[in-house]
């Protein structure tokens, strides 16, 4: 079983959800990102998503767009992303969330090889659907990497089944129709979507988009296997007056969220 598989097995045994934290590599700086990832893990994040900043991030809202722009303006290159993974994987199991073109440009086989060598566990691919992923499926099989594809409230049951068959590690359920970013509350569509996924697969289901505090994390943990938080962490760093305060704010948020995924809630239907 992969490192991610081990993580899910452990939290399932504990009867709670896994906490996943996202930050783009190179944001707020190369070293600053790694400092913030360490604070995240100290605060209770158990799986790291390193974002690969990209010039045209169509699935991201303004917060993550701003972070990606800053990372690219700072001169971030593909090998910096891989070095960030290397540092992150020392802290916790690590996956890369990336739009597809930078991977294709690097070479799919080459990226899979170098990601595995850096200790990365796999890729989350927001604009690569299984239908277009033959090369990545082969490369990830070759390197033993996990493949996390997304489903959304608009996905048909047929597509959920197809996507689940292509996934390894876990499956990423996007909670709403929309882009990344904090929302007042997780949508009602989210629990229904997770229920539909459970009907199709035994794979763990992580829920992302819109979770920004412990209370929301607790609610999502009531029906999903992982709670994925990105924009809220980025926001802490964007708003901080200096690097130290940013890192402390990230750790505080991680603690709040980690409390959330452990909170006892009235039993929620899991489909």
**Catalytic residue set:** 49, 60
Distance of closest approach, residue 174 Cβ to another protein, in angstroms: 6
Cβ atoms within 10 Å of 156's Cβ, excluding its own: 10
Residue 191 and residue 268: Cα distance in Å, rounded? 9
- The answer to the question of residue 150 lying near another protein (CB under 8 A) is yes
Which among 18, 16, 27 has a CA at the least distance from the CA of 234?
27
- The answer to the question of residue 127 lying near another protein (CB under 8 A) is yes
Place of tokens 């359920």: 173
Distance of closest approach, residue 176 Cβ to another protein, in angstroms: 8
Give the tokens for residue 36. Answer: 């913030």
- The answer to the question of residue 102 lying near another protein (CB under 8 A) is yes
Which among 229, 240, 213, 252 has a CA at the least distance from the CA of 172?
229
- The answer to the question of residue 157 lying near another protein (CB under 8 A) is no
How does DSSP assign 85-96, residue by residue? HHHHHHHS-EEE
Among 29, 78, 143, 213, binds another protein (CB under 8 A): 78
Binding segment toward another protein, per CB under 8 A, in 54-62, 140-148, 218-226, 231-239: 54-62
Residue 77 and residue 239: Cα distance in Å, rounded? 25
Distance of closest approach, residue 226 Cβ to another protein, in angstroms: 18
Cβ atoms within 10 Å of 241's Cβ, excluding its own: 7
Count of residues that bind another protein according to CB under 8 A:
40
Binding segment toward another protein, per CB under 8 A, in 113-121, 125-133, 221-229, 248-256: 125-133
Binding segment toward another protein, per CB under 8 A, in 16-24, 83-91, 153-161, 259-267: 153-161
Coil, strand, or helix at residue 197? helix
Among 6, 9, 10, 56, binds another protein (CB under 8 A): 56
- The answer to the question of residue 165 lying near another protein (CB under 8 A) is no
Q: Which residues contact 182 (CB under 8 A, 6 or more apart)?
A: 63, 210, 211, 212, 231, 232, 235
* Residues of this chain that bind another protein (CB under 8 A): 54-59, 61-62, 65, 69, 72, 77-78, 100-106, 126-129, 131-132, 149-156, 159, 163, 174, 177-179
């Amino acid at each position: 079983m992969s490192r991610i598989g081990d993580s899910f097995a452990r939290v399932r045994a504990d009867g709670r959800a896994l906490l996943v934290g996202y930050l783009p590599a190179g944001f707020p700086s190369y070293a600053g990102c790694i400092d913030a990832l360490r604070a995240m893990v100290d605060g209770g994040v158990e799986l790291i998503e390193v974002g690969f900043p990209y010039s045209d991030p169509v699935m991201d809202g303004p917060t993550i767009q701003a972070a990606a722009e800053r990372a690219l303006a700072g001169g971030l290159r593909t090998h910096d992303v891989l070095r960030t993974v290397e540092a992150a994987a020392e802290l916790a199991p690590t996956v890369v969330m990336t739009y597809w073109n930078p991977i294709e440009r690097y070479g799919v086989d080459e990226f899979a090889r170098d990601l595995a060598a850096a200790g990365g566990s796999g890729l989350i691919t927001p604009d690569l659907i299984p239908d277009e992923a033959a090369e990545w499926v082969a490369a990830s099989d070759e390197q033993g990497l996990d493949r996390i594809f997304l489903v959304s409230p608009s996905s048909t049951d047929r597509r959920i089944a197809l996507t689940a068959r292509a996934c390894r590690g876990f499956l990423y359920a996007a909670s709403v129709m929309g882009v990344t970013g904090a929302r007042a509350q997780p949508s009602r569509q989210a629990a229904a979507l997770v229920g539909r996924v459970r009907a199709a697969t035994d794979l763990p289901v992580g829920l992302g988009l819109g979770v920004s505090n412990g209370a929301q994390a607790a609610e999502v943990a009531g029906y999903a296997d992982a709670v994925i938080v990105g924009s809220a962490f980025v926001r802490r760093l964007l708003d901080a007056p200096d690097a130290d305060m940013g890192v402390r704010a990230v750790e505080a948020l991680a603690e709040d969220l980690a409390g959330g995924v452990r909170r006892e809630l009235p039993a929620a239907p899991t489909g």
